[in-house]
Amino acid sequence: MKINWAENLRQNVHQLAESLGNLFVETFHYLALFAIGAVTAWAAVMEFLQMIEAGHIKIDDILLLFIYLELGAMVGIYFKTNHMPVRFLIYVAITALTRLLISNVSHHSPPDLGIIYLCGGILLLAFAILVVRYASSQFPSVKIEHPHRKVGAGSSEHAEVEKGEI
């Protein structure tokens, strides 16, 4: 009998500690997401203002804005789903390498072996996206409760199975 009150107290302390820990982790999680999103938006706006101030826009600048867009989309998806979309990181890397490739070819030096390395890196990353998409469609990380959906809104077309990243 005397041990029951101690066990109940231990369980209550454990539940309180777990609840407080979850509160602190989730609070940090949301604050960090808002901070990353705000910094990304601020950097994109500042870069855009610098482009306007310069009076001309180069392809490098446009690709940099795409990088900011992809980072912002990543933050938004992570905020909504609590899953890090690995594909978006690869898209950012491909865009960054493409930006570097265009910058090197058009501004800096004549073509050399470095361009082959950059193109190989872009090809490797594109292949990685293929692998990630195939793996996520064949081995989804989250089980889907009702995997069938209609193809068209209100249509009588055949339902298809939804697979892939959620």
* Domain assignment of residue 74, given as a range: 2-138
The pLDDT of residue 121: 95
Q: Cα separation of 57 and 62, whole Å?
A: 7
| Three-class DSSP category at 149 | strand
Q: Cα separation of 80 and 77, whole Å?
A: 5
The reported pTM is 0.65
Q: Cα separation of 73 and 70, whole Å?
A: 5
Q: Say if 40 falls within a structural domain.
A: yes
Q: Say if 83 falls within a structural domain.
A: yes
Number of domains in the chain: 1
Q: Say if 151 falls within a structural domain.
A: no
Q: Which residue bears the tokens 């855009």? A: 48
Q: What residues pair up with 160 in beta bridges, in sequence order?
A: 149
What average pLDDT does this structure show over 101-126? 85
The pLDDT of residue 2: 64
Closest Cα partner for 71 from 50, 41, 99? 41
Instruction: Give tens-digit pLDDT for 31-77.
Output: 998 999 999 999 999 999 999 999 888 888 888 998 999 889 888 88
